[in-house]
Amino acid sequence: MVLALAVAIGILGAIPFAEAAGFYQNQEREPIALMCGLVLFFLAWMVLRFLFRLGTQIVWRLGQIRERPGLPVVITLLACGTLCVLGALLLVWHGAGGGLDMSPGVNLPGNMPGMNMVPRFDVSMRVSGSLIQPLAVCAALVIGVILLALGVWSSLAPAAAAKDDSVGTP
């Protein structure tokens, strides 16, 4: 699973990574995109391996805990996780809407009094190649999913307690 995710990240992120790093000023794009894809693959593979091992240990340790947090903590975890996921969606939606459109007015020097010549022009600005927005979206989404998972885990009864309750019933 880690390998498949790392390959997908390497393939899908090669061109945006190359553009963000400023490598697309020259004409030969394929070798640069391949190099950036390989760099992303190896970085993603190392980070994902670490995160999956860490996640496995956290899940194992959470399975050992008998007491769960109370209802106010569960509601807070679920609400914050939902807000983080919705915030990630909002960041993606805002970023897909385009750039910043401005219509500044320019007053030409030497105009006669009473004659207001203000030509209008539209300027469309779009920042391409910035990695801040995708990283913020990924961070908000991961944090939101983790908070939601902890909220759901907190609301469930431990497995040992569920077994003990079912033993006494006919």
Reported as a single tens digit per residue, the pLDDT across 145-159 is: 999 999 998 888 776
Same domain, 59 and 92: no
User: Where would I find the beta strands (DSSP E) of the chain?
Assistant: 100-102, 123-125
Strands 123-125 and 100-102: antiparallel
- The answer to the question of residue 164 being in a domain is yes
Report how many domains make up the chain: 2
Task: Check whether 121 has a pLDDT greater than 60.
Answer: no
- The answer to the question of residue 121 being in a domain is no
Cα separation, 52 vs 81, whole angstroms: 20
* Among candidate residues 23, 48, 64, the one where a domain is terminated: 64
Same domain, 135 and 74: yes
Cα separation, 26 vs 125, whole angstroms: 23
Q: Which of 86, 81, 65 is nearest to 156 (CA)?
A: 65
Same domain, 52 and 80: no
Reported as a single tens digit per residue, the pLDDT across 7-30 is: 888 888 887 777 777 776 655 667
- The answer to the question of residue 133 being in a domain is yes
Same domain, 21 and 89: no
* Among candidate residues 49, 64, 79, the one where a domain is terminated: 64
Cα separation, 139 vs 156, whole angstroms: 26
- The answer to the question of residue 89 being in a domain is yes
- % of residues, the chain, pLDDT over 90: 18
Task: Check whether 120 has a pLDDT greater than 50.
Answer: no
Same domain, 50 and 7: yes
- The answer to the question of residue 146 being in a domain is yes
Same domain, 55 and 85: no
- The answer to the question of residue 46 being in a domain is yes
Reported as a single tens digit per residue, the pLDDT across 51-95 is: 889 988 988 888 888 888 888 999 999 999 999 999 988 888 877
Same domain, 143 and 90: yes
Q: How confident is the model at residue 126 (pLDDT cuts 50, 70, 90)?
A: very low
In degrees and rounded to multiples of 5, residue 45 shows phi and psi of -65, -45
Same domain, 74 and 47: no
- The answer to the question of residue 161 being in a domain is yes
- % of residues, the chain, pLDDT over 70: 68
The residue count of the chain comes to 170
Domain that residue 27 falls in: 1-64
